Each structure stands twice: as C-alpha cells, then as structure tokens.
Chain A
Amino acid sequence: MTLILFYVTSAVAVFATIMMITRLNAVHGLLYLILSLLAVGVIFFLLGAYFAAVLEVIIYAGAIMVLFVFVIMMLNQGHKTIAQERAWLEPGTWLGPSLLALILFTEMLVVIVQGGSAETGHVVSASQVGMALYGPYLIAVELASILLLTGLVGAYHLGKPILKMAKPRSEP
C-alpha cells in the first residue's frame, strides 16, 4: 500500500515539476511548483520523516512560496492587471493543479481511513531530531542562524526603495 502511495506521489511530483518548467506564465509555474513541493512533503511522510514533512509544507510550500507570490505581484503592476486577472481565472489555469491537489488529498484520505497511520519507513521522531540538533549539531544551528541573518541584511539592502538609485552613487 505504501509503495502504491509512493509511486503515485512520485508521479505527481515529477509531472508537476515538468509542468512547472514548461509554463510560460510565472504564476502558472508557481501553482505547479507548490504542488511539486506538497507531493515531496507527502513522500517525506511516507518515508517516516514527519517533522521534515511538516516543515516542507509550512516553510517551503507556505512561507517561501508567499515570497514568490509577493514578488510576482510587485512586478506585474500596471494597467494590464485586469486582463491578467481575467486570464488567470480561466479554468485551464487552475484545473491541472487542482487535479494534482485532489490526488494528494485522496492519498491523505486513504491514510486516514486506514486508521490514521500509514505503514511508513523507519520513523525518525521530532524529539530525536531535536536531541541531535541541539547536541552534536549545535554549531550547525549557529551557522544557520548567521546565514539567515546574512540573508535578512542582504534582502533588506537589496529591497531598499529604488529612489536612491537615481542619484549617482560615489563608489570608493
């Protein structure tokens, strides 16, 4: 049973990724990318990595994709917005991602009907991950925090209002 779920989810992930890299419109690609990430999250669940599955859905498919949506919205401002909105509401745009999402949803229903827990691979619980994370991997956590701080400072610097760019900058 787990194998069937695994193969179906793999097919969804690969198909969604193929559709993602062939879409001309960035928003259409984004929908498929979210589906691909969700499918990989389901695969994490099937492999027994529950903590990683939750993180995949919350951070990847949630937070990082929201960044993409914001940037695409910021880049698409203009008078053609209404025509774009109309085009995006065409059924052809959201039918494919909806079908893929329906497949994943069906898998979740199957797992729930089976009694709340599918037979997964070796389960590595969140507490084990936490124990290792704050034990031998403490220095990696510190490095990750420094990396995130660097990303924050860099993104702030790059995202500062473009007004100052009109002035010629005196480079050293």
Chain B
Amino acid sequence: MSVIPAEMGLLLSGLLFVLGLIGVLARRNLIMILMSLEVMLNAAGLAFIVAGSRWGQADGQILFLLVLTLAAAEVGIGLGLALQIFHRFKTLDADSINQMQG
C-alpha cells in the first residue's frame, strides 16, 4: 500500500499553520484576520487527520470534528464582533480600535 509519508503531511500542516500565523500577524483587516485563523485551525485539523491515518485510528477524525465545531463557534462569534466593531467605529482596522473604554 503506497501511503503518503506522515512527515510530508505534518510538514504541509506546519506550513499552512505558519502561513495562517503570518496572516494573523501581518494583516490588519478583521475579516482577513478571521480568515487566517480559519487557515490555522484547518492546519491543526490536518495534523490530526495525518496522525489518525498514520495509526489507523478513528481518533484523528473525531478530533477533527471537534476542531470543526470550534471553528464554527469561533467564526460565528468573531463575525458578530466584526459587525459590531464596524457599526461602532466605521472601520475594520484592528489597530484603530485600541481605545475601547471598558
């Protein structure tokens, strides 16, 4: 059985995670930050799937399901916050909203 080497899968996962991290750190648009967060969560899920495939266990997919749940909840809350911030400050710039008062 020709299997994909687990190292390559983990490497791809790490690469995607770092790209998402760069996105979170470099971009200042709240929507782009949320999208980069999605990439990071997705990379973590990919690592779980690779490990589950390597050991032939179902646990990897179950943890991916939990990551999926987390991503869904996070994106709901995050986009709600982005809407609120846009309505309050008329901008989505993450740097210009550092003056919240309590």
Contact = CB atoms under 8 A, between A and B. Distances in A.
A152 B72 CA distance: 10
For chain B, give the interface size range: 35 or more
Interface string A143-162: 01001101110110111001
A12 to B, nearest CB: 11
For A6, A7, A64, A150, which residue has the most chain B Cβ atoms within 10 angstroms? Answer: A64
Contact of B80 (A2, A26, A63, A155): A155
Interface residues of A, number: 63
A26 B49 contact: no
Interface in B41-77: 42, 45-46, 49-50, 52-62, 64-66, 68-77
B99 to A, nearest CB: 17
5 contacts: A43-B46, A63-B72, A68-B75, A124-B57, A162-B87
Interface of A: 1-3, 6-7, 10, 13-14, 17-18, 20-21, 26, 29-30, 33, 36-37, 40, 43-44, 46-49, 51-52, 55-56, 59-60, 63-64, 67-68, 71-72, 74-75, 119, 121-122, 124, 128-129, 131-133, 137, 140, 144, 147-148, 150-152, 154-155, 157-159, 162, 165
